[in-house]
Amino acid sequence: MKSYVSQDYAKAAQSFVKAAERGDASAQFVLGNMYENGEGVKQDYQQAMSWYRKAAELGNASAQSNLGTMYEHGEGAVKDLRQAMSWYLKAAMQGNAQAQSNLGVLYAKGEGGVPHDYIEADKWFRIAESGGIEKAKEQRDFVERFMTSAQLDEAQRRVRDWASEWIKAHPIAR
């Protein structure tokens, strides 16, 4: 995909379509990005969603996260925070730090059918922060102003439980 690296996006799009149609989730994800951002193709949120969904259904965590963002903002589909949450959760469980942070935001806001839950928000912000999302610390600091010490302890316990499950599910190759 030299044409993508050299920023000949129109040529790259043609190459990615071929790979995406063969079921390559990475190519589907890149096409989603290209349609979302109008790189080498006309910007088209519905096409972006279509390619993201194909990649997401094949387990591509970045596509799952981006699909969640599109549902959260109503780009390419009707705004649906429950759908956003569902896709973010799938990506977050695979370790996608941006999706983890986005889950924290949804729980902190508690809108559109997503439960308002500072404990879950704090948990996901902590996990996202450990994954390199710098803004997650600011977001965590904000929600913690509204939490009791018992709620903070519960959030920390949930992080430990999540980390323990993560380690079991992703053993280090020896």
* pLDDT digit string, tens, across residues 13-48: 888 889 999 999 999 999 999 999 999 899 999 999
pLDDT confidence of residue 6: 45
Statement to judge: residues 59 and 113 lie in one domain:
no
**Dist CA 117 CA 162 (whole Å):** 17
Statement to judge: residues 106 and 67 lie in one domain:
no
Statement to judge: residues 89 and 101 lie in one domain:
no
Q: Tell me how many degrees the CA angle 46-44-80 measures, rounded to the nearest 5.
A: 40
Q: Over the stretch 99-155, which tens digit does the pLDDT of each residue have? A: 999 999 999 999 999 999 999 999 999 999 999 999 999 999 999 999 999 999 999
Statement to judge: residues 62 and 118 lie in one domain:
no
Find out whether 47 and 56 touch, Cβ atoms under 8 Å.
no
Is the per-residue pLDDT at 174 higher than 80?
A: no
pLDDT confidence of residue 7: 66
Count of alpha carbons within 13 angstroms of residue 85, beta-carbon side: 19
Find out whether 103 and 89 touch, Cβ atoms under 8 Å.
yes
Statement to judge: residues 14 and 83 lie in one domain:
yes
Residue 151 lies inside a defined structural domain of this protein: yes
Q: Residue 73 is part of which domain span? A: 10-94
Statement to judge: residues 66 and 128 lie in one domain:
no
> How much is the CA Rg of the chain, to the nearest whole Å?
18
Please state the domain count of the chain.
Answer: 2
Tokens 């890149």 found at: 30
Among 94, 112, 128, where does a domain finish?
Answer: 94
pTM: 0.91
